[in-house]
Structure 1
Amino acid sequence: MVSMDLARRGLNTAALSLRFLRARDPFDAGSNTICTDFVTWLSREKGARVLEIGTRRTEGGAPTTRRHWAHSSAEYVTSDFMAGPDVDVVADAEKLSESFETESFDAVIGCSVFEHIKRPWLAAPEIGKVLRPGGKVFVQTHFAFPVHAYPYDYWRFTREALETLFGPESGFASCDSYYEFPAAIVSRELYLSAYGHSFLNVCCVAVKGEKRAT
């Protein structure tokens, strides 16, 4: 039989979570339309220069690059901080501008990589540096996901976290985000498992601001 103390703790946790959920509905974004709109845009950008970060294929793994998102005439550059399959350029995401010219890419893609970057607050403005004005970045990372180290697993993100990382301070004029793959988090030690919405992934598309006239 469940003790009253355990049940009370569970109810308090659930109530607190519902209180904060009212601040922002996690479903208020356009869901996957943000991603599909980005892919549609990129597929039509003839001759675009595209950078994808964190592309090194694990041993025995399948290719994970999104090269097929881009137009066939695009120059598609893949990078990772370690050499290996599917890596064109070895580059540190926290120091991209040391490996690539500033304002040299029309788009940057980072899928399942930001949770592995030690200092993502340095990587976001570096992406802003290598993007051309009006260029776009697509990031997919995790909100709730099992620990997975390739080689290290540092972070989990909310929509607000991505919108902050890819905000004006990093050179971006706009940032739209969404959650995907609803999930349930269950603890063996907590009687009530439902405390609000959980998701496996969180994604965003941010647009770099245009140059201001001097």
Structure 2
Amino acid sequence: MAMSLIEHIDKPWKAAPAMSSMIAPGGYMFVAMPWFCPTHEGDHWRARPSGLAHLFEGLKMVRDACFPSAIRAVRDRKNYWRTANSAAAGCSARPER
């Protein structure tokens, strides 16, 4: 799970393959990134779900959505996929080998 983390990494295109390599075959990774929220010092990048899919190339996008906040996504996991608001997220799977 990487919630509100990727936007703080200087070179996420280098970190993403390393993160992907830690997923076991058949495993999943949940990534959330703010979108409309105000930026702050150390906040370097923003990506829509399609950008996250490109960043984590090689993983299969299981689901993507926008939701009001990462906290709400965890609290209200059954409904947040239907909410379009302020954060991009994706659940990616490493293919079985």
Q: TM-score range by the shorter chain?
A: 0.7 to 0.9
Q: Any residues of structure 2 matched to 1:81-160 within 5 Å, and which?
A: 109-149=1-41, 152-160=42-50
Q: Tell me the SS of whatever aligns to 1:122.
A: helix
Q: Tell me the SS of whatever aligns to 1:131.
A: coil
Identity %: 28
Q: Distance in 2 between matches of 1:115 and 1:180?
A: 16
The count of aligned residue pairs is 82
Q: Tell me the SS of whatever aligns to 1:161.
A: helix
Q: Taking structure 1 as the reference length, what is the TM-score of the superposition?
A: 0.36
CA RMSD of aligned residues (A): 1.6
Q: Which residue of 1 aligns with 2:65?
A: 178
Q: Distance in 1 between matches of 2:94 and 2:31?
A: 14
Q: In the alignment, residue 114 of structure 1 is paired with which amino acid?
A: I
Q: Taking structure 2 as the reference length, what is the TM-score of the superposition?
A: 0.74
Q: Distance in 2 between matches of 1:175 and 1:162?
A: 12
Q: Any residues of structure 2 matched to 1:185-204 within 5 Å, and which?
A: 199-204=85-90
Q: Which residue of 2 aligns with 1:209?
A: 95
Q: Any residues of structure 2 matched to 1:5-16 within 5 Å, and which?
A: none
Bigger RCO of structures 1 and 2 (CA < 8 A, at least 6 apart): 2
Q: Tell me the SS of whatever aligns to 2:96.
A: coil
Q: Distance in 2 between matches of 1:156 and 1:127?
A: 18
Asked if 2 retains the 8 angstrom alpha-carbon contact of 1:143 and 1:156, the reply is yes
Q: In the alignment, residue 208 of structure 1 is paired with which amino acid?
A: R
Asked if 1 retains the 8 angstrom alpha-carbon contact of 2:61 and 2:90, the reply is no
Give structure 2 stretches of 5+ with no counterpart: 69-83
Q: Distance in 1 between matches of 2:4 and 2:33?
A: 5
- Closer/same/farther in 2, CA of residues 174 and 200 from structure 1, 3 Å limit: closer
